[in-house]
Copies of this chain bind each other. A is one copy, B any other.
Amino acid sequence: MDFRGAHIISVNQFERDDVERVFEVADTMEPYAHRERITKALDGAILGNMFFEPSTRTRVSFGCAFNLLGGHVRETTDVKSSSISKGESLYDTARVISGYSDVIVMRHPQVGSVAEFAKASRVPVINGGDGPNEHPSQALLDLYTIRKELVSNERPIDGMHIAMVGDLKHGRTVHSLSQLLLLYKDIQFTLISPNELKMPTDIVGKLREAGHTVVETDDMEAGLSDNDTVYLTRIQEERFTSKLEADIYRGRFRLNQAIYTRNCQPNTVIMHPLPRDSRKDANELDNDLNQHPNLAIFRQTDNGVLVRMALFALILDVADKVEQTGSKVGWYTESRFE
């Protein structure tokens, strides 16, 4: 695809080459994201960061990525403070707001809203999440993280083994990541979830059609063995339709130090889209793994900045101006990125 001036709405719009182009550019952003250098590539440009649904993490990550490229950020965070609540159409909002910004990131609770907005927008729009539907920069940062983590284990994405754990029925991140992995070869998926919360059959079907191996199980410990990556997601109790089902599976889909050591290979990378619920009875990823070197969850969010910088740089066609307008950081920084 031609990234210049393009909307980024769905993972479905990418070919493998596109994904790899994003990753290559993301790699070049490292000295800027890691505060060794600053750049003025987007000096004077304005990001319209439109969040019609709360999200600190994604909002700040996009805003930070734009600032790191030298641009300004104008933000809207409250749907109630917006004209949409007075009956304004997405068409009108898009026509107006796109007169204010050079690129827009939009999050909106309604499926399809960002695509509709993009159609009327006069500037490129990046989907920052349209309800349960799409959040393409999250899928890209997940895959970018896998690629980076596996490189240090001298493994490529093609042929890797990945376990996905938790609520695979509703989890937007595992759906989008699976979609992106259709572009790769010979992957072994182990899908670990309660019977009620299995990966949708159409996604499983597509994975198999693409030549991947898919194993489905509700036995977490069995499923964890023999993986390059374990990708965890949260199971919310209220997702079960019956109390009985919830009781059967209670506590059986959380990962902690003991379960990891007992079942995983020493190199298995641990991922999670965050936020994780760190309250005592949460079913996901325990704090006793916080110091584990294979815990990649904070490298994931760090990578999010690189991937978002890459998207902005490609869409606004400044990937080759970043270094050219760059200089050394002038303030005191300690190395804080792994």
Instruction: Indicate if the CB atoms of B74 and A60 lie closer than 8 Å.
Output: yes
Q: How far does the alpha carbon of A282 sit from the alpha carbon of B333 in the complex, in Å?
A: 47
Most B Cβ at <10 Å: residue of A290, A302, A332: A332
Q: Which residues of B contact A302 (CB under 8 A)?
A: 99
Which residues A213-251 have CB closer than 8 A to chain B? none
Instruction: Please judge, given known A-B contacts A275-B92, A330-B43, whether A74 and B81 are in contact too, CB under 8 Å.
Output: no
Contact of A5 among B83, B301, B332 (CB under 8 A): B332
Contact of A336 among B122, B275, B333, B337 (CB under 8 A): B122
Q: How far does the alpha carbon of A55 sit from the alpha carbon of B81 in the complex, in Å?
A: 6
Number of copies of this kind of chain in the complex: 3
Contact of A81 among B54, B61, B301 (CB under 8 A): B54
Contact of A78 among B5, B54, B68, B74 (CB under 8 A): B54
Instruction: Please judge, given known A-B contacts A70-B44, A78-B77, whether A102 and B277 are in contact too, CB under 8 Å.
Output: no
Complex: chain B residue closest to A298, CB-CB = B95
Q: Which residues of B contact A122 (CB under 8 A)?
A: 336-337
Contact of A278 among B5, B46, B92 (CB under 8 A): B92
Q: Which residues of B contact A123 (CB under 8 A)?
A: 336
Contact of A44 among B38, B74, B274 (CB under 8 A): B38
A289 touches B (CB below 8 Å):
no
Q: How far does the alpha carbon of A60 sit from the alpha carbon of B93 in the complex, in Å?
A: 12
A267 touches B (CB below 8 Å):
no
Complex: chain B residue closest to A101, CB-CB = B64
Q: Which residues of B contact A42 (CB under 8 A)?
A: 330-331
Instruction: Indicate if the CB atoms of A89 and B278 lie closer than 8 Å.
Output: yes
Contact size range, A: 35 or more
A209 touches B (CB below 8 Å):
no
Q: How far does the alpha carbon of A163 sit from the alpha carbon of B302 in the complex, in Å?
A: 50
Contact of A276 among B38, B92, B102, B282 (CB under 8 A): B92
Which residues A63-100 have CB closer than 8 A to chain B? 63-64, 67-68, 70, 72-78, 80-83, 86-89, 91-92, 95-100
Q: Give chain A's interface residues, CB within 8 Å of chain B.
A: 4-5, 35, 38-39, 41-46, 48, 51, 54-57, 60-61, 63-64, 67-68, 70, 72-78, 80-83, 86-89, 91-92, 95-102, 122-123, 274-279, 282, 287, 290, 298, 301-302, 305, 315-318, 321, 325, 329-334, 336-337
Question: Besides A5-B334, A123-B336, 20 other CB < 8 A contacts?
Answer: A41-B330, A45-B329, A46-B68, A48-B60, A51-B81, A55-B81, A56-B83, A57-B96, A60-B100, A78-B78, A88-B276, A88-B277, A98-B336, A99-B302, A100-B305, A102-B333, A122-B336, A318-B330, A318-B331, A325-B330
Q: List the 4 shortest-distance A-B pairs measured between CB atoms, nearest first.
A: A38-B44, A54-B81, A317-B332, A87-B277
